Amino acid sequence: MGQTDFALVCDAGCDLPSLYLERTEATVVPSAAVTDAEGGTAALTWEFEKTYRALAARGRTQIASVHSARAFSAELACAEAAAAACADVADVQVIDSGSGSAATGMVLFRLACHRADGVSFERSVAAARELARHVRLLVIPDPSAHFSRRRTQRRRRGLLNRATSSLRVRISGERGLYLVTRGEITQLARATDLSELTGRLAHAMSAVAATEGELVYATLETGDQRALRVMEKPLDTNEFEARHLGTLRATHAVETIIGTGAVGVAFAPSRDYWRAADDLPITAAVPEAPDAPPGTTPGPRPGLPGHPTETRAPGAHEGGRS
């Protein structure tokens, strides 16, 4: 058990390596297996409720449950329903990362750091929710993934137009670059050339760095090493300052969403990623926390088993620049 007594819950969609999840003592709800086997959100909601009640029965009555945005996956809505059902036995704070995949993992990672540092449940949750306002996922799904159907920022189109567009993408191999942040999925670009999209991805990161300062980022891959190399090339630049946390292999749960062959980058401003929880107001019950004071300079983070003294996530593959 960590230095404080609150429990962490997540699902495989955070894309953190299993070894790291074990070290943080996070309880992973096997949501993909439940959905595959029984097909519906009722079974998944019950799985979350069983998890929360089991933790409460062991005396873990303060629970922080971290999940990807509802536009990205179904787990968030199920976790919220289960948390409400367990209000009689536990204080379950469901944290919406507003993003997905490795960006959700970044929120969970920092939450575990706060707990290991002895930060209170309320302040740890507030810090996680504040970070969720700043993490972003840029992803280039495989053309077969139908990821465009998840967009929340799009013009209204008729059924025929949507079907024609989907068919064109499959036939031409056209791919899109999508931004997932603050619960929204927005298409930024579309092209058949992967290198063109990865160049746009790096440009988008540069634009954020120009206004928000140095970035920290993790690259995401789905088994296509060539695609990963194509994405990493424009990230090796002096155009903006960034530190590479590592490369994560997408879990099956995420791969079913973005497709085999997809690549992406999860990132956040360094000042927000490393900000100390004590710098934040206690707003655990409010998803959108107010702006916090300027961040602190990151340093070695003692107390979390297996936590490195440099900014590479445990279990991640080295790659990119630092």
When pLDDT is cut at 50, 70 and 90, the band that residue 318 belongs to is very low
252 plus 195 within the same structural domain: yes
When pLDDT is cut at 50, 70 and 90, the band that residue 149 belongs to is confident
11 plus 122 within the same structural domain: yes
Is residue 320, in this structure, part of any structural domain at all?
no
Rg (CA), the chain: 19
- Longest Cα–Cα distance in the chain: 57
pLDDT of 210 above 60? yes
Residue 30: name the closest of 6, 16, 48, 52 by CA. Answer: 48
From the number of C-beta atoms within 10 Å of its C-beta (0-12, 13-18, 19+), residue 252 rates as exposed
Is residue 299, in this structure, part of any structural domain at all?
no
pLDDT of 72 above 90? yes
140 plus 226 within the same structural domain: yes
102 plus 141 within the same structural domain: no
| 50 vs 197: CA distance, rounded Å | 42
81, two tokens: 């329903």
147 plus 265 within the same structural domain: yes
Is residue 297, in this structure, part of any structural domain at all?
no
Residue bearing the bigger pLDDT, 23 or 246: 246
Decide: helix, strand or coil at residue 19.
helix
265 plus 140 within the same structural domain: yes
Is residue 317, in this structure, part of any structural domain at all?
no
What CATH number should be reported for the domain holding residue 185? 3.30.1180.10
230 plus 141 within the same structural domain: yes
What CATH number should be reported for the domain holding residue 35? 3.40.50.10170
146 plus 77 within the same structural domain: no
Number of domains present in the structure of the chain: 2
181 plus 206 within the same structural domain: yes
Q: Which domain holds residue 103?
A: 7-134+275-279
Is residue 80, in this structure, part of any structural domain at all?
yes
| 133 vs 145: CA distance, rounded Å | 27
Per-residue pLDDT, 171: 53
The helix, strand and coil proportions of the chain, stated in percent and rounded to the nearest 5, come to 45, 20, 35
Please give the mean pLDDT across all residues of the chain. 83
61 plus 104 within the same structural domain: yes
40 plus 73 within the same structural domain: yes
Contact criterion met (CB below 8 Å) for 12 and 253: yes
87 plus 178 within the same structural domain: no
pLDDT of 281 above 70? no
Helix (H) or strand (E) holding 202: helix 194-212
240, two tokens: 């903006």
